Amino acid sequence: MTRLAVFDCDGTLVDGQASICEAMEAAFAGADLPCPPRAQVRRVVGLSLPQALVQLAPRASETQRTEIVSGYKSAFFNARTEGRLSEPLFEGMRELLHRLHAAGWLLGVATGKSDRGLTSCLAGHEISELFVTLQTADRHPSKPHPAMLEAALFEAGVEAGAAVMIGDTSFDMEMASAAGVRAIGVDWGYHAPDELIATGAIGVASDMLALEALLGDPAHG
């Protein structure tokens, strides 16, 4: 049976929290608004920018939020083009992806990143060819809406029962539940393990070997 593993990006595949926080701080400054603490910014990583700003800047006007979105995208683009962007793969992730690919898994990504941001990130790590489906906030409603996963299933030609969503936030777990896909959490991202379990994770991996074991455990299949 063909199986599909869909990964979140920020907080699951790569550790981009410093760059995310720096871009958000620059964006708020550009709109002459105080930026929330970094801990609060990290809590909304995974949501699309407009949805994240509903939580980060609930009293801001639509004009201000639009300005923050534009400023964030510009700050991220400038960091990337100037070589300041830091989005390292988590330790062992590259090897895990190659093992899964060699074992016959189809791989995908569902992320709050833009198309441009995801494409650049995967290309920079030279892992683009491993993925058969890429879903981003540019083309879908924000997580936890199931649209990204539904599109990934369609593109990969895989039924929901043969797929798994791997992520670090409750948004990922809730999206998987809404799409009828099992969910596995990872503890190296932005939400605590108990939150991931409470929102639908069948288990939470503490490292790549634990994640691989959860993927291959018939009890969770």
Q: Which domains does the chain carry?
A: 4-15+88-220 (3.40.50.1000), 17-81 (1.10.150)
Question: What does the DSSP assignment read for 123-185?
Answer: HHTT-GGGEEEEE-TTSSPPTTSTHHHHHHHHHHT--GGGEEEEESSHHHHHHHHHHT-EEEE
For the cut 70, the answer to whether the pLDDT of residue 218 exceeds it is no
pLDDT at position 139 is 94
pLDDT at position 216 is 85
Query: If you ran DSSP here, which 8-state letter would residue 2 be given?
Result: -
For 95-110, what is the mean pLDDT? Answer: 97
> Which pLDDT tens digit goes with each residue over 140-196?
999 999 999 999 999 999 999 999 999 999 999 999 999 999 999 999 999 999 999
For the cut 80, the answer to whether the pLDDT of residue 198 exceeds it is yes
Token digits for 193? 């393990």
Residue 216 burial (C-beta neighbours within 10 Å; 0-12, 13-18, 19+): exposed
> Which pLDDT tens digit goes with each residue over 8-64?
999 999 999 999 999 999 999 999 999 999 999 999 999 999 999 999 999 999 999
Neighbours of 198 (CB within 10 A): 12
How many percent of the chain have pLDDT more than 70?
A: 98
For the cut 70, the answer to whether the pLDDT of residue 217 exceeds it is no
**What gap in Å lies between CA 29 and CA 32, rounded to an integer?**
5
What's the mean per-residue pLDDT of the chain?
Answer: 95
For the cut 70, the answer to whether the pLDDT of residue 124 exceeds it is yes
For the cut 50, the answer to whether the pLDDT of residue 220 exceeds it is no
Token digits for 184? 């596995």
